[in-house]
Structure 1
Amino acid sequence: MNDDFSHHDHTVMYISENVPGPSENSLEYNKIVEDFNSQLTNKCNCDHVCEPPICSCLQQSESRNYVVSDSDKNLFCLNETRMKDDAISPVIECNDLCSCDANCGNRVVQKGPLKCLYVGMCTNENKGLGLFCNNVIPKGTFVCEYAGEVITKAQANIRQQHNILNGEMNYIFCLNEHSNDVITQTFVDPSKLGNIGRYANHSCDPNCIIVPVRVNIPIPKLALFATSNISPHTEITFNYGSSNSTDLVPAIVDRTKCLCNTSKCKGWLPYQMF
């Protein structure tokens, strides 16, 4: 992975990929460690580049994950069907065991974030820092990963309560994946260990979407993809909510005001119940 970014805040450690959270004596934590030490065994035997239906990795994904961009033949963008809410088939990239080369069109997220990204102060200074781009980002382009500590649900709740009591920013992202009537949750917290993705702010009308992508191990990467063409010096945003987010919250919850200032703004940041 090529990631040359860093944090100006020295209290935050830069990591390019997810890492396990603090040790716990629990089955959930043991499963996290086990998954980090695992290797996806499926591999393809493709020559150079992968094409459906021959590639076994694309067979697992049930379709082509990425397509060649109309504006740049060297750029692979997320397949349009992957941006829909009902896109339930997994995005699985070719891994270290595969025989295809580095130019394979099924190797995108693993290559790292766009080089044109930078961190800057938002127009509304109350938002603080945000993530921006120097160049045009075509629709479907992989922007960066939202990487941090992969923690248990118990640890996520502890940290969320700490953030509420101390008035600190909450960076925890809860990914809910549905399969065969089972919901699998992955909690990622880049508050103290994270990559450049931690600076991407919420918007009720975002220009990016989070897509879980698996490379080498079972734990998904939270990959940001552009859902529209993004102009230079535009802020990179995504919706912090999920299918479990709600506008009906307990009266005792102190909601955080949304500062996206878009025509679709709901007034408050999404409230997520783990």
Structure 2
Amino acid sequence: MEDNYSHIEESLIYILENIPGPIHTSNEYRTLLENFESQITNHCNCDQICTKSLCICVMNSGGVCYINGKLQYDTDRTHPVFECNSLCPCSIDCGNRIVQKGPVEGLTIARCVETDKMSKGLGIFTSRAISSGTFICEYAGEVITKSEAMKRHSENKKYERMNYIFCLNEHSNGNVTQTFIDPSQFGNIGRYINHSCEPNCQIVPVRVDSLVPKLAIFACEDIPPGAEITFNYGALSNDEGTATEGERKPCLCGAALCSGWMPFQSY
């Protein structure tokens, strides 16, 4: 993986990919660690470059995933995304190896323009034009258990700290699999991406070797040079109505269709 970015804050530790959270003796943590250290055994037998009709990894992703290095959006997508992994004999130049190569070039960390409310703080901007479907970067951090996520969320609220924990909910056969990523202390450039109610990017779970997905951020529209990179932190849910006044945070995205509040969802 090629990643030449770094943090602008010395107190943070830059990581290229997800790492497991702090060691714990609970069964919950043991399950997390087993999944994190797992190796997906399904692999293709393609020669050099994979093709849509022959590659088992592509077929496991629903038959099509990337075309010319760009994610193909499917509003009815029910398949997870599987890239070719370390067991696959195909070349690193195979078209089904995108996220594992690292973030796009031309990203910069800068302070956002202040609104009439207040500044959003730091954000990610692009110095280059980015076409729709391009992989931007991963939202990488510590992979933690639900118990640890709830503990950290409570502490963040108590000490009025920024909460970076991302909860991914994946639905399959009536079951929900949750993945919690926290880049607050260990993370990559993705931790600086702000929320928008009208984002130009979206998160797609992508699996390479491990059962634990990478939170891959893809452009969902053409992005001009100088624009801020944004994604929606989460869809509105029934939890919105149960949030307390202290839990509902005003949204500062400035979008024409801004909901007025940051997304809120309990774990």
Q: TM-score, normalised by structure 2?
A: 0.96
Name the structure 2 match of 1:30. Answer: 30
Aligned to 1:6: 6
Distance, in Å, in 1 between the alignment partners of 2:23 and 2:98 is: 31
Q: After TM superposition, list the pairs within 5 Å mapping 1:112-127 onto structure 2.
A: 112-124=102-114, 126-127=119-120
CA offset digits 1:117-158 (Å, max 9, x no partner): 110010126111000111000001000000000000011011
Q: 1:208-256: per-residue Cα shift (whole Å, max 9, x none)?
A: 0000000111100000000100011100000001464743133354321
- 1:34, distance to aligned residue in structure 2 (A): 1.0
Amino acid at match of 1:39: Q
Specify the code of the residue in structure 2 equivalent to 1:206: P
Q: Which runs of 4+ in 1 moved over 4 A?
A: 243-246
Equivalent residue number for residue 43 of structure 1: 43
Partner of 1:154: 147
Greater Cα shift, 198-207 or 246-255:
246-255
**1:178–1:230 distance in 2 versus 1, CA, 3 Å:** same
Range with bigger deviation, 221-230 or 54-63: 54-63
**Secondary structure of the structure 2 residue equivalent to 1:132:** strand
Report the counterpart of residue 121 of structure 2 in structure 1.
128
Q: Retained in 1: the 8 A contact 2:207–2:214?
A: yes
- Is contact 2:243-2:264 (8 Å) kept? no
Instruction: Provide the rounded CA distance (Å) in 2 between the counterparts of 1:178 and 1:211.
Output: 13
Change beyond 3 A, Cα 1:183–1:243: farther
CA distance in structure 2 between the partners assigned to 1:207 and 1:14 by the alignment: 25
User: Where in structure 2 are there 5+ consecutive unaligned residues?
Assistant: none
Of all paired residues, the percent bearing the same amino acid is 51
Q: Helix, strand or coil: the match of 2:242? A: coil
Quote the residue 1:21 is aligned against: 21
Q: SS at the partner of 2:156? A: helix
TM-score, normalised to structure 1, is: 0.93
Deviations 1:10-52 (A, max 9, x none): 1110001000001122222111111222111111111111112
Indicate which of 247, 254, 261 corresponds to 2:247: 254
SS in 2 for 1:184: strand
Equivalent position SS for 1:247:
helix
Distance 2:248 2:32 in 1: 31
Residues 1:91 and 2:84 are matched in the alignment: no
SS in structure 1 of the partner of residue 67 of structure 2 = strand
Aligned length: 264
Other-structure match for 1:265: 258
Structure 1 vs Structure 2 CA RMSD: 1.3
Question: Kindly tell me: are residues 192 and 245 of structure 1, through their superposed partners in 2, closer, same or farther at Cα, counting changes over 3 Å?
Answer: farther
Separation in 2, partners of 1:126, 1:243 = 23
1:107 equivalent to 2:97? Answer yes
Given the alignment of the two structures, is residue 238 of structure 1 paired with residue 231 of structure 2, yes or no?
yes
1:209 equivalenced with 2:202 (yes/no): yes
Residue correspondence of structure 1 range 132-143 to structure 2 within 5 A: 132-143=125-136
Q: Distance in 2 between matches of 1:143 and 1:246?
A: 30
Greater mean alpha carbon deviation, residues 15-24 or residues 30-39? 30-39
8 A Cα contact 2:240 2:265, kept in partner? no
Look up the SS of the partner of 1:270 in the other structure.
Answer: coil
Measure the CA separation in 2 of the matches of 1:20 and 1:107: 23
Q: Is the 8 A contact 2:236 2:263 kept in 1?
A: no
The amino acid across from 1:200 in the alignment is I
CA distance in 1, matches of 2:254, 2:160: 22
Secondary structure in structure 2 of the residue aligned to 1:219? coil
Partner residue of 2:215?
Answer: 222
How far apart in 2 are the matches of 1:121 and 1:79?
Answer: 32
Amino acid at match of 1:150: V
